[in-house]
A and B are shown apart, each in its own frame.
Chain A
């Protein structure tokens, strides 16, 4: 079945540094979604990418979908303490099941 892998598992940065998390799927994805989960919270939808090579920006966050639609990345410019949390990518597998990566936990120290 489809597997979605994310790296790194953890990332610790100083406030103001950039951060990138990478997502790879074992199969071609119809679309990919990104979620953020704050400590003690629940996943919150960030964005969905659909087209090959698509790039979308949300303020300091830049999302990319690979040309082959098997990988994706999330880049945060100049991290802030409010960026702390775990970032998940997810792709639809068979039927209506959303397969989540294990996530990248970001810690930002001031």
Chain B
């Protein structure tokens, strides 16, 4: 099976702009999670979608939003970008395995806000 794909891989934006990131999970996986990774804060959970429904959301401002389509592909959007939004944004395709979901991460989108 093909792995998780994320586009674009790199993005440079300026403050105040908005950005949309895309994630295609592994075929057959219906759950997708998004994380923000920064050197200072580590991996922080943004939100998780299952069958087009957001099941859980992390502690991020409303500028961060997401959605999932019927084919399980997911997008996340960040509006009114701030310098602090510079990070690696990781999407994970989730597969139920026993007591928990195993998460298969994509390569990430490196966002730089100038």
Contact = CB atoms under 8 A, between A and B. Distances in A.
Interface of A: 30-31, 33, 35, 41-45, 48, 50, 88, 90, 92-103
Interface of B is mostly: strand
Given A96-B48, A100-B43, A48 B90 contact: no
B42 A101 contact: yes
A contact patch SS: loop
Contacts of A41: 107
Given A43-B43, A95-B48, A96-B33, A50 B105 contact: no
A92 B35 CA distance: 14
Give the bracket for the number of chain B residues in contact with chain A: 20 to 34
Contact of A50 (B31, B43, B98): B98
B70 interface: no
Interface of B: 31, 33, 35, 42-45, 48, 50, 55-56, 58, 90, 94, 97-108
Given A43-B43, A48-B97, A88-B43, A98 B103 contact: yes
A31 B106 contact: no
Contact of A102 (B42, B94, B100, B107): B42
